[in-house]
Structure 1
Amino acid sequence: MRYVKLPKENTYEFLERLKELGKLYAPVKISDKFYDFREIDDVRKVEFHYTRTIMPPKKFFFLPREKLFEFSISKAEYREVIENVEPFVLFGVHACDIYGLKILDTIYLDEFPDKYYKARREKGIIIGISCMPDEYCFCNLRETDFADDGFDLFLHELPDGWLVRVGTPRGHRIVDKNIKLFEAVTAEDICAFREFERRRHEAFKYHEDWGNLRYLLELEMEHPMWDEQSDLCLACGICNTTCPTCRCYEVQDIVNFDGDTGYRERRWDSCQFRSHGLVAGGHNFRPTKKARFMNRYMCKNAYNEKLGISYCVGCGRCTAFCPAGINFVRNLRTILGLEEKSCPPEVTEEIPKRGFAYSTSIRGDGL
């Protein structure tokens, strides 16, 4: 991998140069507390030390709503609508969100690629940036706090600039075209990089092993947490829309007033909506809010076989933006036995402790 240094005084000039590659999107502050990726006119509005954006970068590749094709019933024909995607730059993507895009790639770029997603993925230039975790971050537990690939360039903060990792041939071309803005990496820069990574690691709130979590979730289907927390849930779907890896959508045909022509569109859907599990004949395979609540926890903590990580990348959005105050990490730690005892006392005493309390499905009454 190639390494160069971007001095702090050249940062804004570099951002201006990026505009030559396409529209520039980056995190900006949109209120006292919140950030979001927006198109950048004034590069000095870019936030380099933001925590998390409300909407994840997936919105640029998997659109919240998009037209798939137009149709005519009388002519029995349809015409695909694939917009002419222009190159664009997504600057300031955190490592966990890069992993989120990699997970979506395994879904939408598999043996049957989604042409709409693929067109945008090929035109999007990804430039990552380092960050310091807050109380909601747990990407270290998901092994998504440091991205090895999935970016064209990645900027790591130094006291006087940025250590830049070059991840793709396109990233090499960007550096080469603007080589006068960069310098060689020094021994002092390497020490500063190492120190930043040490402080970042120590800043995470939790340092524990979640390796058996997905199994305990299956074993603890009767844990009281499910009833308690699903009762609080508003079924609003914010946890899904803000998640970097949620990928469910619904498809609807919109017929024009002539009753003959129209179009088909797809739009984001949420597994927390009652309609998500509703199928033909009126059957709903997740009829209760509790069933939908549990399904999301099972889905996010399942493992993506291609990447070897869970479908949750630890960004903390679902907790930070939940209007009901549901804490995703606390609920998972409850299942792990790290927030409270999860076994009856008589069982806990008989089973040797190995760092986690065992499942309440192992009961003293033999059930």
Structure 2
Amino acid sequence: MRYVKLPKENTYELIERLKNFGKLYAPIKISERFYDFREVHDVRKIELHYTRTLMPPKKFFFLPREKMFEFDLEKNEYRETIPEVEPFVIFGVHPCDTYGLKILDSVYLDEFPDKYYKARREKSIIIGISCMPDEHCFCNLLRTDFEHDNFDLFLHELPDGWLVRIGSQTGHNIVDRNIKLFEEVTQEDICNFREFERKRAQAFKYHEEWDNIHYLLELEMEHPLWEEEAKKCFACGNCSTVCPTCRCYEVQDIVDIDGTKGYRERRWDSCKFRSHGLVAGGHNFRPTKKSRFVNRYLCKMSFHWTLGVNFCVGCGRCTAFCPAGIDFLRNLRIIAGYEEMSCPPQISGEIPKRGFAYAKDIRGEDI
């Protein structure tokens, strides 16, 4: 891998020149507390030291609503609406979010490429940036706190600038076309990079072993925690919306009033919605809020064998933006045995039959 140094005084000049490679999106402050990736015209408004954006970068590739094709029954015609995408740059992507894109790539590009996702992904340039964790971050526990690939450039903070890792041919082109903005990396820069990464690793709130978390979740599907937390849940789907790796969608045909023309649209769905497990005949595989609540934890903590990470990247958005105040990390730590439940409910003397929640859901019984 090639390394260069970007002096601090050249930071905004480089960002301004990124506009030559496509429309520029970056994190900006949109309210007193929140940040989001938005199109940038004034690069001085970009937040280089933000915590997390309201929406992850997935919104640029997997749109909340998207027309898939149009049809005309009278003419017996069908036309796909593959988007024509201009190149664009996403600047300031944290490591957890680059891992999120890597997971989405494995779903939408690998075996059966999704034409709509692919059209946007091929036109994107990803510029990563280092960050310091807050109390909601736990990417270190899931080994998504340092990205090794899946970026064009990655900027690591130094006292007087940035150590830049170049991860693609596009990244090389950006650097070579703006080579006067960069310097050679010195031994002092290497020491500063090492020190920043050490401080960053120490800044995480928890340092625990989570390799067995998915199996503990399967074993503890009748844990009293789920009943308690599911009662708080609004089933609003907000956690799925802000998640970098949630990718479920539903499709609907929108037909003209005469019933002869129309189009098919797909839009984001959530496993927290009652309709998500509903199938033909009215049967629902997850009829209760509790069953849907547990399912999301199992899904996020599933292991992606190809990438070697979980489907959760530890960004903390689901906790930070939950209107019900549900703490995703706290719940996982309880199941992992690192934290006690506060005010636990009374449990009967009967030993719970662990591991049978799925069978109960399939029969449609209320658990």
Above 0.5 in TM-score? yes
Which of structure 1's runs of 4+ aligned residues deviate more than 6 A? Answer: none
Task: State whether residues 239 and 317 of structure 1, in contact with CA within 8 Å, keep that contact through their aligned partners in structure 2.
Answer: yes
Report what 1:53 is aligned to.
53
Which amino acid is the alignment partner of residue 183 of structure 1? E
Query: Residue 115 of structure 1: CA displacement?
Result: 0.8
**Structure 2: how far apart are the matches of 1:49 and 1:256?**
48
Report what 1:6 is aligned to.
6
| Bigger mean CA offset, 119-128 vs 67-76 | 67-76
Aligned-partner SS, 2:11? helix
Which amino acid is the alignment partner of residue 132 of structure 1? M
Report what 1:194 is aligned to.
194
Report what 2:345 is aligned to.
none
Query: Residue 361 of structure 1: CA displacement?
Result: 5.2
Aligned-partner SS, 1:138? coil
Report what 2:363 is aligned to.
none
Aligned-partner SS, 1:58? helix
Report what 2:312 is aligned to.
312
**Structure 2: how far apart are the matches of 1:341 and 1:26?**
39
Query: Residue 3 of structure 1: CA displacement?
Result: 0.3
Task: State whether residues 225 and 341 of structure 2, in contact with CA within 8 Å, keep that contact through their aligned partners in structure 1.
Answer: no
**Structure 1: how far apart are the matches of 2:268 and 2:176?**
39
Deviations 1:104-123 (A, max 9, x none): 11100122100111111110
Distance 1:22 1:341, change over 3 A: closer
Q: Does 1:261 align with 2:247?
A: no
Query: Residue 258 of structure 1: CA displacement?
Result: 3.4
Report what 2:124 is aligned to.
124
Task: State whether residues 99 and 147 of structure 2, in contact with CA within 8 Å, keep that contact through their aligned partners in structure 1.
Answer: yes
Q: Does 1:26 align with 2:29?
A: no
Query: Residue 55 of structure 1: CA displacement?
Result: 0.4
Aligned-partner SS, 1:173? helix
| Bigger mean CA offset, 130-139 vs 69-78 | 69-78
Aligned-partner SS, 2:128? strand
- Structure 2 residue runs of 5 or longer lacking an equivalent are 343-351, 356-367
Which amino acid is the alignment partner of residue 317 of structure 2? R
Deviations 1:305-327 (A, max 9, x none): 11011000000000000000000
**Structure 2: how far apart are the matches of 1:340 and 1:45?**
43
Task: State whether residues 61 and 120 of structure 1, in contact with CA within 8 Å, keep that contact through their aligned partners in structure 2.
Answer: yes
Q: Does 1:73 align with 2:82?
A: no
Task: State whether residues 220 and 360 of structure 1, in contact with CA within 8 Å, keep that contact through their aligned partners in structure 2.
Answer: no
Report what 2:332 is aligned to.
332
Aligned-partner SS, 1:11? helix
| Bigger mean CA offset, 201-210 vs 253-262 | 253-262
Report what 2:98 is aligned to.
98
Which amino acid is the alignment partner of residue 5 of structure 2? K
Distance 1:34 1:341, change over 3 A: closer
Report what 2:203 is aligned to.
203
Query: Residue 360 of structure 1: CA displacement?
Result: 9.6
Report what 1:111 is aligned to.
111
Query: Residue 259 of structure 1: CA displacement?
Result: 2.2
Query: Residue 60 of structure 1: CA displacement?
Result: 0.4
Task: State whether residues 227 and 290 of structure 2, in contact with CA within 8 Å, keep that contact through their aligned partners in structure 1.
Answer: yes
Query: Residue 75 of structure 1: CA displacement?
Result: 2.0
Report what 2:361 is aligned to.
none
Query: Residue 341 of structure 1: CA displacement?
Result: 7.7
**Structure 1: how far apart are the matches of 2:184 and 2:90?**
25
Aligned-partner SS, 1:235? coil
Report what 2:244 is aligned to.
244
**Structure 1: how far apart are the matches of 2:315 and 2:204?**
12
Aligned-partner SS, 1:47? coil
**Structure 2: how far apart are the matches of 1:81 and 1:247?**
20
**Structure 2: how far apart are the matches of 1:103 and 1:66?**
20
Aligned-partner SS, 1:59? helix
Query: Residue 336 of structure 1: CA displacement?
Result: 1.0
Which amino acid is the alignment partner of residue 262 of structure 1? G
How many corresponding residue pairs? 346
Query: Residue 222 of structure 1: CA displacement?
Result: 1.2
- Structure 1 residue runs of 5 or longer lacking an equivalent are 343-358, 363-367
Report what 2:294 is aligned to.
294
Which amino acid is the alignment partner of residue 138 of structure 2? F
Which amino acid is the alignment partner of residue 89 of structure 1? V
Report what 1:149 is aligned to.
149
Which amino acid is the alignment partner of residue 184 of structure 1? E
CA RMSD of aligned residues (A): 1.4
Aligned-partner SS, 2:122? helix
**Structure 2: how far apart are the matches of 1:360 and 1:249?**
33
